[in-house]
């Protein structure tokens, strides 16, 4: 058992029931590894070996796979999150950089900076199915929440290419500031925020018109950008002065700035938006920032040059209210599904509760089971389910879901 794993278990020991948190994947750009941080303890719990010079990462929507772009290796490593192992390597274009997974998880888009192209990967076969020619030095790529459009930053051309993902054709080219790099879409899909490194600005693109509707002056060398899960704020890393700038998306004005580590290059929000993780490029650390007060709560040491990091939930719990309809009768039932907690592999049992206090146990299930159904339910009734995992005799809540039956 590693020391960090031991520390994690010590923390678990002091509470009978803990809530599972996120996993943060941090590519180490001067190495061949991705460091995995357990956000509940802010410790590195595993290291995944990938290709040469990993630079960015994105997750499939179900959190089961991570796609790591290897900048010098000119490949994409496909990582199984549950086992923290790369099981496939996909050759892409020259010096690939940004990556984005479609919302349905079927396609992966990779911006090849050296080739001036975007590779489209079929996630089922892990092969490149199409290569789209874009502008000069495409660095990052962002998809709208519905996945209909892909926005690519052409770093040496000062433009954004807009790709229609149904045809993979460029439908618009949007002029922005000098050296666009970071790019992120708001959760409602109405706006795209682009960092312009050289002129220290952030361009706001209206996705309905594909025109820049606002340009916000921020600090020197803005690089990474991320939109909070609630869509109310945008955080920008400033390589030049080691600060983060916070932008209010309603007014597109700067509302706060705060310091982090040296050369912050990228950032990502926790799934609940309460924290933001900043990779400090030359310092070899990740700053963990509470978004409520924009204060750094800890620094996590992660190799040499942490780059474009990403966050996925520790475990997914989902559910659906279902019905089985016959001619004269309908049976209503709820189906709850979950994924294995990804790092800890010693789950002995899953438990399903009806209440948040975990006092009303519905059932206990073996570790091999990831689905539970409750049958013969009354109509128009709301049910809540809380799923926990027993990990080394300790109970960890891995998620909850609320469902309403209807005929």
CB nearer another protein, residue 292 or residue 325? 325
Under DSSP, the state recorded for 308 is: B
Is the Cβ of residue 292 or residue 327 nearer to another protein in the bound state?
A: 327
Query: Exposed, middle or buried by CB within 10 Å (0-12, 13-18, 19+), for 357?
Result: exposed
Q: Looking at beta carbons only, is 16 or 382 nearer to another protein?
A: 382
**CB atoms closer than 10 angstroms to residue 143:** 21
The least CB distance from residue 383 to another protein, in Å, is 14
Phi, psi of 11, rounded to the nearest 5 degrees = -65, -45
The binding site for another protein (CB under 8 A) comprises: 322-333, 375-379, 407
Return the bridge partners of 371, or none: 337
Give me the least distance between CB of 333 and another protein, in Å please.
7
Locate 362 and state its tokens.
Answer: 């519905």
Q: Which is nearer to another protein, 130 or 330 (CB)?
A: 330
Q: Are strands 394-404 and 17-19 parallel, antiparallel or unpaired?
A: parallel
**258 vs 243, 278, 290, CA distance in Å?**
5, 12, 11
Angle at alpha carbon of residue 209, lines to 207 and 214, rounded to 5°: 75
Q: How far is the CB of 321 from another protein (least distance, A)?
A: 11
Nearer to another protein, 119 or 334 (CB): 334
Minimum CB–partner distance for residue 373 and another protein (Å): 9
Closest distance to another protein from the beta carbon of 332 (Å):
7
Query: What does the buried/exposed string (b/e) look like for 282-298 if buried means 16 or more CB atoms within 10 Å of the residue's CB?
Result: ebbbbbbbebeebebee
State which residue, 190 or 335, has the beta carbon closest to another protein. 335
The least CB distance from residue 365 to another protein, in Å, is: 19
Residue closer to another protein by CB (options 3, 326) is 326
Q: What CA–CA distance (Å, rounded) separates 283 from 342? A: 28
Q: Taking CA 55 as the corner, what is the angle to CA 50 and CA 56, rounded to the nearest 5 degrees?
A: 95
Residue number with CB closer to another protein (366 or 378): 378
Q: Give 230 or 373: the residue with its C-beta nearer to another protein.
A: 373
* Exposure string over 318-335, b if 16+ CB within 10 A, otherwise e: ebebeeeeeeeeeebbbb
For the CB of residue 326, give the shortest distance to another protein in the complex, in Å. Answer: 5
Report the C-alpha gap between 148 and 247 in whole angstroms: 26
Residue 83 phi/psi, 5-degree rounding, is -105, -5
Question: How near is the Cβ of 316 to another protein at its closest, in Å?
Answer: 23
CB of 325 to another protein, least distance (A): 4
- Minimum Å gap between C-beta 361 and another protein is 21
Write the burial class of residue 37 (CB in 10 Å: 0-12 exposed, 13-18 middle, 19+ buried): buried
Which one, 19 or 323, has the nearer CB to another protein?
323
Place of tokens 């025109």: 211
């Amino acid at each position: 058992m590693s020391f960090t794993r031991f520390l994690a278990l010590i923390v678990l020991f002091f509470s009978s029931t803990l809530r599972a948190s996120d996993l943060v994947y941090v590519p180490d750009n001067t190495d061949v590894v991705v460091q995995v941080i357990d956000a509940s303890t802010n410790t590195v719990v595993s290291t995944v070996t990938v290709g040469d010079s990993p630079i960015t990462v994105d997750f499939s929507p179900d959190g089961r796979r991570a796609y790591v772009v290897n900048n010098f290796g000119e490949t994409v490593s496909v990582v199984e999150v549950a086992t923290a192992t790369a099981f496939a390597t996909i050759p892409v274009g020259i010096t690939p950089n940004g990556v984005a997974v479609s919302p349905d998880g079927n396609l992966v888009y990779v911006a090849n900076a050296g080739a001036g192209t975007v590779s489209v990967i079929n996630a089922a076969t892990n092969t490149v199915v199409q290569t789209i020619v874009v502008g000069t030095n495409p660095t990052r790529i962002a998809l709208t929440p519905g996945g209909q459009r892909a926005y690519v930053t052409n770093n040496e051309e000062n433009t954004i290419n807009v790709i229609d993902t149904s045809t993979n054709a460029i439908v618009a080219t949007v002029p922005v500031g000098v050296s666009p790099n970071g790019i992120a879409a708001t959760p409602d899909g109405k706006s795209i925020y682009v960092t312009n490194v050289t002129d220290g600005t952030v361009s706001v693109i209206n996705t309905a018109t594909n025109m820049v509707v606002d340009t916000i002056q921020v600090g020197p060398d803005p690089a990474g950008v991320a939109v909070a899960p609630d869509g109310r704020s945008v955080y920008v890393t400033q390589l030049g002065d080691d600060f983060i700038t916070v932008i209010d998306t309603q007014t597109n004005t700067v509302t706060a700035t705060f310091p982090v580590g040296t050369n912050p290059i990228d950032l990502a929000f926790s799934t609940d938006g309460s924290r933001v993780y900043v990779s400090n490029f030359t310092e070899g650390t990740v700053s963990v920032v509470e978004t409520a007060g924009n204060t750094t709560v800890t620094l996590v040491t992660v190799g040499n040059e942490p780059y474009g990091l990403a966050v996925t939930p520790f475990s997914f719990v989902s559910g659906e209210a279902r019905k089985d309809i016959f001619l004269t009768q309908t049976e209503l039932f709820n189906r709850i599904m979950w994924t294995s907690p990804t790092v800890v592999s010693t789950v002995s049992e899953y438990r399903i509760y009806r209440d948040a206090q975990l006092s009303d146990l519905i059932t206990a299930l073996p570790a091999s089971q990831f689905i539970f159904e409750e049958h013969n339910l009354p109509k128009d009734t709301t049910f809540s389910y809380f799923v926990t995992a027993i990990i080394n005799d300790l109970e960890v809540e891995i998620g909850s879901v609320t469902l309403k039956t209807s005929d």
